[in-house]
């Protein structure tokens, strides 16, 4: 430590050893007052606007500005004192470190505010919030260290080269893990599925999405078992989402009636049953109008489809169940027959005698 010079009482008033602390205190006090006034005014303006990002920016600036004010005051303190060059160098390094620290803290606090805002409205972001914040924080700290080393005269070129080679080796070793990570980030950003959605996978598995993590997605299947699938496999497959673009879902029931049926009566009776199901079944959409369309002539019946609307995938089974029960009962009352499969075989007359003999029809007493 440098020793204080011997000064008379009158010389102390003009001494840099008195002026430097006074300048430091005055510098910090003035700029803290300016900081308080400016940030207070900015908060007042932010409260009157619907834009939420200004609140995040103001909150992120508070602590980094305090660090910058104190570190710059120390530089003023150093410049006033008649110190040795090595002390000047030490204060310069301290200032560089403080500014880099302030920038890293600003990025970290701003990132946390943005993630908190997104996580408030997204269950998916809540699960990935910690991972994303840790990743951004690590990148910010790494860049901050490189900036600090470069500012104090240490060459960062060998470090960058080593980081490049090391990153390549890590990427190759963690290829599957990184594929799942980026697939999870893609699903969080693109939102093809979200927790609570009912989906079907290419292999026929279906269930409700319960969690989208950074490595895998969890799906609760109807038997109450949990299917855990890697994000990379899920993102690369064809997914049927029953909750997009809306939760309502069409319930199509195929029916066949005899060829001699009165199709007008069939249509009227079937739609009457379908409307009753739509109005009374809990899982159905009460205001929806069912649709009936004749499809064509089948092997043993005239084919038609009836389409009803369910509130969601869970209600689809209930709507179909109740409609099949009611339409079968009503058809019995109206005399409308749903035929068994019938196939008519035509044989050339020359073959009939032989068939009769084989079947016993040509036996004579």
Residues above pLDDT 90, as percent of the chain: 25
Give the single-character DSSP code of 144.
Answer: H
pLDDT at position 185 is: 75
pLDDT at position 152 is: 80
Q: Which residues contact 154 (CB under 8 A, 6 or more apart)?
A: none
Highest mean pLDDT among 37-51, 118-132, 165-179, 267-281: 267-281
User: pLDDT tens digits for 15-29?
Assistant: 777 888 888 899 889
User: pLDDT tens digits for 250-304?
Assistant: 999 999 999 999 999 999 999 999 999 999 999 899 999 999 999 999 888 999 9
Q: Do 63 and 110 meet the contact criterion of CB atoms below 8 Å apart? A: no
pLDDT (mean) for 122-145: 76
pLDDT at 221 over 50: yes
pLDDT at position 1 is: 47
Where is pLDDT greater, at 319 or 40?
Answer: 319
Q: Are residues 163 and 88 in the same domain?
A: yes
Highest mean pLDDT among 16-25, 41-50, 66-75: 66-75
Q: Are residues 129 and 270 in the same domain?
A: no
Q: Are residues 133 and 202 in the same domain?
A: no
Return the bridge partners of 292, or none: 306
Q: Do 115 and 129 meet the contact criterion of CB atoms below 8 Å apart? A: yes
pLDDT at position 47 is: 79
Q: Are residues 259 and 197 in the same domain?
A: no
CA distances (Å), 183 to each of 180, 190, 234, 237, in order? 5, 10, 8, 11
- Orientation of helix 85-120 relative to helix 123-151, angle to 10°: 170
Residue 352 lies in a domain: no
Q: Are residues 123 and 255 in the same domain?
A: no
159 falls in which pLDDT band (50, 70, 90)? confident
Residue 340 lies in a domain: no
- Residue 199 is part of which domain span? 190-241
Structure-derived torsion over alpha carbons of residues 292, 294, 295, 296, reported in degrees to the nearest 10: 170
User: pLDDT tens digits for 318-359?
Assistant: 999 999 999 999 999 999 999 888 777 777 777 667 777 777
pLDDT at 363 over 70: no
pLDDT at position 258 is: 92
**pTM to 2 decimal places:** 0.55
pLDDT at 77 over 90: no
Closest CA to 106 of 134, 141, 71: 141
Question: What value does the mean pLDDT of the chain take?
Answer: 83
Q: Are residues 75 and 168 in the same domain?
A: yes
CA distance 76 to 59: 27
Q: Do 211 and 220 meet the contact criterion of CB atoms below 8 Å apart? A: no
Q: Are residues 144 and 54 in the same domain?
A: yes
Q: Are residues 97 and 128 in the same domain?
A: yes
pLDDT at position 14 is: 60
First to last CA, the chain: 136
Q: Are residues 48 and 149 in the same domain?
A: yes
Residue 360 lies in a domain: no
CA distance 78 to 58: 30
Q: What is the CATH number of the domain that holds 303?
A: 3.30.70.100
């Amino acid at each position: 430590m440098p020793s204080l010079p011997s000064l008379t009482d009158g010389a102390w008033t003009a001494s840099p050893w008195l002026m430097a602390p006074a300048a430091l205190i005055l510098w910090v006090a003035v700029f803290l007052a300016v900081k308080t006034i400016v940030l207070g005014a900015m908060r007042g303006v932010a409260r009157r606007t619907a834009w939420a990002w200004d609140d995040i920016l103001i909150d992120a600036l508070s602590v980094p500005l305090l660090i910058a004010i104190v570190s710059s005051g120390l530089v003023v303190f150093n410049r006033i004192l008649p110190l040795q060059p090595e002390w000047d160098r030490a204060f310069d390094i301290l200032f560089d470190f403080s500014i880099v620290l302030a920038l890293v803290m600003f990025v970290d606090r701003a990132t946390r505010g943005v993630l908190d805002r997104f996580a408030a409205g997204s269950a998916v972001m809540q699960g990935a919030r910690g991972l994303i914040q840790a990743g951004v924080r690590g990148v910010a700290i790494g860049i901050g260290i490189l900036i600090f080393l470069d500012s104090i005269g240490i060459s960062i070129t060998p470090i960058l080269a080593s980081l490049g080679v090391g990153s390549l080796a890590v990427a190759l070793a963690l290829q599957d893990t990184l594929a799942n990570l980026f697939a999870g980030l893609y699903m969080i950003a693109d939102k093809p599925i979200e927790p609570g959605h009912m989906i079907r996978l290419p292999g026929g598995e279906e269930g409700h999405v319960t969690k989208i993590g950074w490595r895998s997605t969890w799906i609760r299947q109807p038997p109450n078992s949990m299917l855990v699938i890697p994000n990379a496999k899920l993102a690369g497959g064809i997914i049927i989402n029953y909750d997009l673009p809306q939760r309502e879902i069409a319930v199509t029931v195929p029916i066949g009636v005899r060829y001699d049926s009165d199709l007008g009566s069939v249509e009227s009776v079937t739609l009457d049953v379908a409307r009753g199901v739509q109005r009374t079944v809990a899982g159905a959409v009460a205001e929806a109008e069912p649709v009936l369309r004749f499809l064509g002539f089948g092997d043993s019946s005239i084919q038609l489809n009836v389409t009803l609307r369910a509130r969601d995938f869970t209600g689809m089974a209930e709507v179909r169940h109740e409609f099949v029960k009611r339409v079968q009962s009503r058809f019995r009352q109206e005399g409308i027959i749903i035929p068994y499969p019938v196939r008519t075989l035509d044989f050339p007359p020359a073959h009939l005698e032989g068939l009769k003999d084989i079947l016993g029809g040509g036996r004579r007493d």
